[in-house]
Amino acid sequence: MKKIIYILIVILAAGTTKAQKAEFTIGADIVSSYVWRGAYQTSAAVQPAMGLNVSGFSLSAWGSIPVLGEAKEVDFTAAYEITGFSVAVTNYWWSEEGAYKYFMYKDKKTEHLFEGTIDYTLPIETFPLSISWNTMFAGADYLADGNRAYSTYISASYPFRIRDIDLGFSVGLNPWESSYAEDFSVIHVGLKAAKELKITDSYSLPIFGEIITNPRSEDIFLVFGVSF
């Protein structure tokens, strides 16, 4: 697994030597609760992010630090995107504060999860539907019987706009027994809305809200957030 990550970093580094322009981003969201793929993770949280993009290659870091001291999360992603198609590998890690086991990668003991992603957005300006396939292929992703789960999340999302509101509808499903659900099931249906809230003549604050339901667990969430 370390070799895969190393190769991706080398590829990105090679791309930077030939690149004309590199873009670095940094920001953060503050959310009323953290819900991921139809499941509650923590209460209110600060979620910082930073990334480097060079000629379609990118390295990014994302985290979630809950206000009430629940399990924190730090994720790293290496990706490549070209003409609406992207591939990525993500290293997920979340654990209680004070666990001090981030560098534990031993099989059946690590808390890391490694996921491969393939994403494609239709090249149709009037119908920009995105489809994503995400599969856990290494790390702490096992079934109760000890076999690897290959937990998979397949999603589709469609953005649209009504006046000054950016909206997005999304659906996600679990195709087989995994850490998400015991069998084929829809585990996420969401509608997200975002807009710029004018504070002064020169500054607007991005805000967003999302209603999420999980048909499998019969749960529902309403999340509010601000971006910086």
Which of 208, 179, 54 shows the shortest CA–CA distance to 113? 179
Q: Is the pLDDT of residue 1 over 60?
A: no
Averaged pLDDT, 112-117 = 98
Distance CA 32, CA 192 (A): 14
Q: pLDDT (tens digit, 9 = 90+) per residue, 12-52?
A: 455 444 445 899 999 999 999 999 999 999 999 999 999 99
192 contacts 209 by C-beta, under 8 angstroms: yes
Any bridge partners for residue 43, and if so which? Answer: 33
Q: pLDDT (tens digit, 9 = 90+) per residue, 183-200?
A: 999 999 999 999 999 999
pLDDT attached to residue 147? 94
Q: Which amino acid is at 158?
A: Y
Q: Which residues contact 221 (CB under 8 A, 6 or more apart)?
A: 33, 35, 40, 210, 211, 212, 213
Q: pLDDT (tens digit, 9 = 90+) per residue, 65-108?
A: 999 888 899 999 999 999 999 999 999 999 887 788 899 999 88
Domain 2-227 sits in CATH at 2.40.160
Buried b (16+ CB within 10 A) or exposed e, 113-144: bbbbbebebeeeeeeeebebebbbbbbbbbee
Domain ranges of the chain: 2-227
217 falls in which pLDDT band (50, 70, 90)?
A: very high
Choose the weakest-confidence range: 4-8, 92-96, 159-163, 195-199: 4-8
Percent of the chain surpassing pLDDT 70: 91
Percent of the chain surpassing pLDDT 90: 82
